[in-house]
Chains A and B, each alone.
Chain A
Amino acid sequence: MELLDIKELMETFSNSEISDFELELAEAGIRIRMTKRPAPRMEVASTATVPVPSLPIAVSAVNESIELEQEKEEKVPDNIIEITSPMVGTFYRAPSPTSDPYVVEGDLVKVGQTLCIIEAMKLMNEFQSEYSGKIVEILVENGQPVEYGEPLFLLELVD
């Protein structure tokens, strides 16, 4: 198969109604796969004016996101888990202002142990741990408003 043939194939594919196309030429050891991205809907379709992002841009964007993920993974070791807030509300570390906090940094906690209270509209949620481990860091202040999914604790898994 010549390069020209592939070019022609691509043109035929892009002008067709087909959205996915796969061709395998076993003896030549070539496998071609083409997928159309859903194009923005336009009333007047003109191939010349539809901007198509060039390949290098897409590649660099992918690299960037991989780099970011790697950076994040380096920061938090595998055995450290972020415990996040299950709801919007106010974070309290103790059942009442005069009582001791449920947990302090360095505490070992078990599955089902209460870690904190999150209050929303006078609903006091005694939030329990899904994991056994050591509380290495408490990330929010007592009485602070928290969002859904906001990290509250860092917990080191203990087997």
Chain B
Amino acid sequence: MNKIEVNIIKLFEMQNGNLSGAQLSQLLGVSRTAIWKHINNLREQGYIIQAIPGQGYRLINKPDKLTSSEIRAVLETQLLGNQIIALEETDSTNDVAKDYGKQDTAEGLLVIAERQTRGRGRRGRNWLSEPGGLYFSLLLRPKLSLAEVSTITLLVAISIVQVLRKDYQLPAVIKWPNDILIDNRKVCGILTELSADPETIKYLVLGIGLNCNSATDNWPEEIKAIATSLSHVLGYHIDRIKLLNQLLLQLETNYLNFIKGEFGQLIPLAREYSCLLGKNITVNTHHQTYTAKAIDINSDGSLLIQKENGKLTNLWAADVSVRQP
């Protein structure tokens, strides 16, 4: 898809109706014959474009494909997605983004894939990358100290919850530090990896896996009990690229404030969206499993818990879950 075709799609989306060949030719500064050729090219790429005599063209349907040109046509961000690598299949988008991080690639790179063969979660765990999801990674180079950057995972979770609540009216919550749940089932996971020596952050990769249009009916029962997809709770297929644009816009706004040190509501929002506070939880650390009560999210992002012996402890890294009564 070339630049003119990207712009034709953009115009259709802005217009949300019919556009005549004459209008397109005038807006894009090319001949009507050229417009006709580009429309045919788009049709070959899977776009359904209807020609209505006397009224012009109408975009009926788009291919549900995450191609870089398709994404570029929709994306409204400045920084995030300034470079796009869209892959049909890869091991893990985080690994691809990390490879670019080791080179001099500027921050903002978006790596997205239809399928991940080795999608990863925390500590080398598998992340099931079902078709129809949004699996992407962003390369960032924040000029912050390690202490300052450690709450960025909360920021990512907050950004996603903001979009799901505002644009989709979904009751999304955060399970500390950054799993996103709807109806007590996981819909999104985030894994942040960074490379740093004590002085500087070389690169940071945000990995986000979001179950969008996955057909949960085919999932094994044990997965159905703990995970869900957006289309399952919404009851309709969502436009993944539109959602991607909404997520990146929100994340970009929050990230730019964050690196300026102007994201004061971070911890209050992390508290507001948390599904743990005040609940009895099970804590799994590397060495042990125990029960406790989630008390608060501290200003540094750690979770304040009260153990059964009454002792208060800060939690930095652990798997936690709400205990079912």
Chain A residues at the B interface, C-beta cutoff of 8 Å:
84, 86-90, 92, 95-99, 112, 114, 119-130, 142-145, 148
The docked-state distance in angstroms from the alpha carbon of A124 to that of B300 is 16
Taking chain A's interface residues, is the majority helix, strand, or loop, or is none over half, making it mixed?
A: loop
- Residues of A within 8 Å of B196, CB to CB, are 86, 125-128
B301 CB to closest chain A CB, in angstroms?
5
Which of A90, A95, A98, A129 contacts B316, CB < 8 Å? A90
Which of A97, A120, A148 contacts B124, CB < 8 Å? A97
Q: A143-B285, A143-B286, A148-B147 are in contact. Are A124 and B194 (CB under 8 A)?
A: yes
B198 touches A121 (CB 8 A): no
Q: Among B194, B199, B202, find the residue whose CB has the most chain A CB atoms closer than 10 A.
A: B194
Q: What is the total of A-B residue contacts with beta carbons within 8 Å?
A: 97
Q: A87-B146, A128-B195, A130-B198 are in contact. Are A121 and B316 (CB under 8 A)?
A: yes
CB of B3 within 8 Å of the partner chain:
no
The docked-state distance in angstroms from the alpha carbon of A132 to that of B176 is 38
- Residues of B within 8 Å of A125, CB to CB, are 146, 194-196
Q: Digit string of B152-181 for contact with A (CB within 8 Å is 1, else 0)?
A: 111000000000000000000000111000
Q: Among A90, A95, A99, A122, find the residue whose CB has the most chain B CB atoms closer than 10 A.
A: A122
CB of B128 within 8 Å of the partner chain:
no
Q: A86-B146, A127-B196 are in contact. Are A121 and B123 (CB under 8 A)?
A: no
CB of B296 within 8 Å of the partner chain:
no
What are 17 sample pairs from A and B whose C-beta atoms fall under 8 A apart? Answer: A84-B198, A86-B196, A86-B198, A89-B317, A90-B286, A97-B124, A99-B124, A119-B122, A121-B154, A123-B193, A124-B194, A125-B194, A125-B195, A129-B197, A130-B197, A130-B198, A142-B286
A139 CB to closest chain B CB, in angstroms?
16
B152 CB to closest chain A CB, in angstroms?
7
